Structure 1
């Protein structure tokens, strides 16, 4: 009735203005605008006089919720990348045990062993000029014994080549022995101390890493072992050679020194960033409009998957740039590729694992939503469960079936909670651990659905 009275008053104002052949006055126009605003608010039409609880207010709050959700999901994607890099920096770069697990197999890699043999052979032969020593000895023999022709002096280059081959074969045999692994591990342990010293703020490490980002392994103990074996086999040229300390460059990147602040920051925030990421993800789902929270879960999985895809592309670009930047005289392309790939394996594995989990989250959010395809999948799933349960429909449910049917919800939550705890407290979860955890969780949830009986509807009250 009030709306009719308002429309009547509005019409009366317009009729009075028409009869007097004049436009409405200022007061009449204000009254007309006021009545129009009240009528618009009464009908629920957006206008300048909408009440805070009207449709326009709800639309405004919904827009704010969507905006907040998008911002939080963007932060989740960025922090997910940071979490993966933080775990890599703390667990693979700065942890000595994990570092040695990466570099120990490199000692048996053919490309790197060839590089090592060349460096050891050159280090020894540079100190022992076998060709010159042989030429001097043969010259002295020809001068003291006229029966020896002077042409034998020309054998000196051949002897020098054979000596180099002998040193090379000896170095190869030492690198193939069991004792080489212990020497290689010890050398890399000392190297890692220098790497950690530089990356954590000590700019003057004794060994390991220089200020231009060159990470090198000292070959002194390995060369000493080769010299010992050579002496035992009668190659006495090396007896009076002083200690030789050569090094093998395993990594070179000036950007590594420039990024020391970021490496130190990621190391300190290794345990914090994942929890902040999970908290923001929960906030993104909570802040979403009530009818779109399952959609928010799906979008969260998509955001994480896109973040991991972008990180994978960035890793590939960084690898290519590194290989092009390493000079051939510092390390052969094959050896450089072997080393960088060995260090990138844990990072790539983590990226693939998080990507897999993100896809699972996106599918879970999508399949629980109201779309036709999701409803069709759920209907098919329910029919499959009903077909399995129909086999036991002719008997009374067992105690465990009844109990699981009553506590279906807590069991689901407990299974998911256990999976989260396992991943949270596993010190270095590999991709296999993450994928295995997801598969076990899904299998456990499916087992609950199969064992538990169908939901029962209580009919204590008559429907009204």
Structure 2
């Protein structure tokens, strides 16, 4: 090959190498953007899917509504008002006045009968309120609430997809809280106590409007899509992230970038949830539902979504820190030296006291990268298999992984001195 041909070959090779690097950078960038954009949707999709597909998870989600003080107070006040409104106290006092007049009572006494309207209504209100409060705050009601939501588990389907029915329901343009279970229980209690008018509480009054908007159908359509994607979208995001790290020119830097990006998107999701909470509260009329009750219902219903978002954020932060600690930074190198020094000192101390790990320790020392990788992979697998992990469970798994790595470092350092081979002796023999 001539010099000119060799020069042309080198030029083409460099051009191909540059083109290849550009393609890798482009592919990595596209994969990262898709990962960042889909990560929040994946979290929401998992929440929707768990609420729809897992009965126990749904019951666990809505159970606190029955014991929330603000909800109890609102239900008690609303039911009390509806019962009292069905009792015509004024008609009763008018009948008393007519009876007194017919019996020839003095005019002053007849006129005084009208003054009984206020006290009678107040007494009735107090008595009904007391009975309703006992029903709403009883353990039996909480059990009935859970049982009703378990048997009619389509609650979340009703809210998010407009199908089914339960305590939380979706109308044409509203989301309602169904208090039918409470109404039926209270009606029976009031009738047993002598308030026959309680049986006239109309069925139409068994719901309280929580949220009203003409965009509910659009929101339900989006939630139906998320429900379908709930199983696969998280897998797609993990695959995209893995491909981005694999295709990146610098795997560690790409991993750190991926973790930071996902963490930022989780913060964006938390901010979005906070904004939507305020939008929801602004949409609820105070005449329909008190602000504290509306806020309590909202927070209870979405608490697992927020918890999952925070969990992913914590995992992202831990992943970014781990990627940094494996890098060439001064801080990372200092932490690694300090950790190695600590485990090494502990291992050598064990060896001096006769607790040597021998060949097993030397094997661990020779394969530190493999043992470290296995420990970290085991922690990651535990989180993947964990049923609805929380920040607490992430901290627990992280603590166990760190403890395992520390123990492995100590055992590797406690191997002691390698045994020497058999001493060689000059062959013995008789001289010639």
Decide: shared fold, TM above 0.5. yes
User: SS at 2:171's partner residue?
Assistant: coil
Match 2:401 to one of 432, 437, 441: 441
Residues 198, 257 of structure 1: 8 Å contact kept:
no
Shift of 1:202: 4.4
- Stretch deviating more after TM superposition (403-412 or 72-81): 403-412
Q: CA deviation at 1:363?
A: 1.2
Q: Check if 1:380 corresponds to 2:380.
A: no
Change (3 A) 1:343 1:195: closer
Residues 305 and 355 in structure 1, CA contact (< 8 A), matched pair in contact too? yes
Matched, 1:275 2:235: yes
Match of 2:118 in 1: 157
Distance verdict in 2 for CA 1:248–1:100, change over 3 Å: farther
1:52 aligned counterpart, secondary structure? helix
1:113 corresponds to 2:78? no
C-alpha displacement of 1:408: 4.0
Partner of 2:425: none
* Residues 310-342 of structure 1 deviation map (CA, whole Å, 9 limit, x = unaligned): 111111111111111111122111111111111
Which of residues 390, 400, 403 in structure 2 aligns to 1:430? Answer: 390
Tell me how far apart the structure 2 counterparts of residues 137 and 205 of structure 1 sit (CA, whole Å).
45
**Does structure 1 residue 361 correspond to structure 2 residue 336?**
no
CA contact under 8 A between 1:115 and 1:335: conserved in structure 2?
A: yes
Q: Give the distance between the partners of 2:63 and 2:243, measured in 1 at CA.
A: 43
Please say if 1:211 is aligned against 2:172: yes
1:50 is displaced (CA, Å) by 6.0
User: Normalising to structure 2: TM-score of the pair?
Assistant: 0.84
* Offset of residue 452 of structure 1: 2.0
- Provide the secondary structure at the position in 2 that maps to 1:369: coil
Judging changes above 3 Å, is the alpha-carbon distance between structure 1 residues 204 and 119 closer, same or farther for their aligned structure 2 residues?
Answer: closer
Residue matched to 1:181: 142
Return 399-408 or 318-327, whichever deviates more. 399-408
CA distance in 1, matches of 2:168, 2:152: 6
> Any conservation in 1 of the 2:357–2:415 contact (CA below 8 Å)?
no
Higher alpha-carbon deviation: 390-399 or 147-156: 390-399
Counterparts of 1:399 and 1:246, CA distance in 2: 78
Distance 2:195 2:340 in 1: 80
Contact 2:174 2:211 in 1 (8 A): yes
Give the match for residue 101 of structure 1: 60
Match of 1:317 among 258, 268, 275: 275
The 2-side partners of 1:357 and 1:206 are apart by: 34
- Give distance in 1, aligned partners of 2:153 and 2:79: 21
Assess if the C-alpha contact under 8 Å between 2:76 and 2:129 holds in 1.
yes
CA distance in 2, matches of 1:402, 1:349: 43
Q: Please say if 1:140 is aligned against 2:96.
A: no
C-alpha change, 1:92 and 1:295, in structure 2 (3 Å) is same
CA drift of 1:76 comes to 1.6
Instruction: Identify which range, 69-78 or 355-364, moves more after superposition.
Output: 69-78
Task: Note if contact 2:177-2:208 (Cα within 8 Å) is conserved in structure 1.
Answer: yes
Paired residues, number:
412
Q: Is the 8 A contact 1:305 1:359 kept in 2?
A: yes
Q: Give the number of the structure whose alpha-carbon radius of gyration is greater.
A: 1
- Return 400-409 or 356-365, whichever deviates more: 400-409
Bigger drift between 260-269 and 296-305 goes to 260-269
Residue correspondence of structure 1 range 27-426 to structure 2 within 5 A = 42=7, 51-54=11-14, 56-92=15-51, 95-146=54-105, 149-150=109-110, 151-186=112-147, 188=149, 193=154, 195-197=156-158, 199-200=160-161, 202=163, 208-219=169-180, 221-238=181-198, 241=200, 244=203, 246-249=205-208, 251-254=210-213, 255-289=215-249, 292-394=250-352, 396-398=356-358, 400-405=360-365, 408-426=368-386
> What does the per-residue CA deviation read over 1:232-273, in whole Å, with 9 as the maximum and x for residues that have no partner?
33445546x366552243642534431223222222222222
Shift of 1:49: 8.7
Give the secondary structure class of the aligned counterpart of 1:452.
helix
Q: Give the unaligned 5+ runs of structure 2.
A: 419-432
What's the secondary structure of 2:286's corresponding residue?
coil
Q: In 2 relative to 1, CA 234–141 (structure 1 residues): closer, same or farther, beyond 3 Å? A: farther
SS of equivalent residue, structure 2 residue 178: strand
Compute the displacement of 1:388 (Å).
Answer: 2.3
Distance across 1 between alignment mates of 2:257 and 2:400 = 24
Name the structure, 1 or 2, with higher relative contact order (CA <8 Å, separation 6+).
2
Determine helix, strand or coil for the equivalent of 1:259.
Answer: helix
Q: Which moved more, 1:280-289 or 1:63-72?
A: 63-72
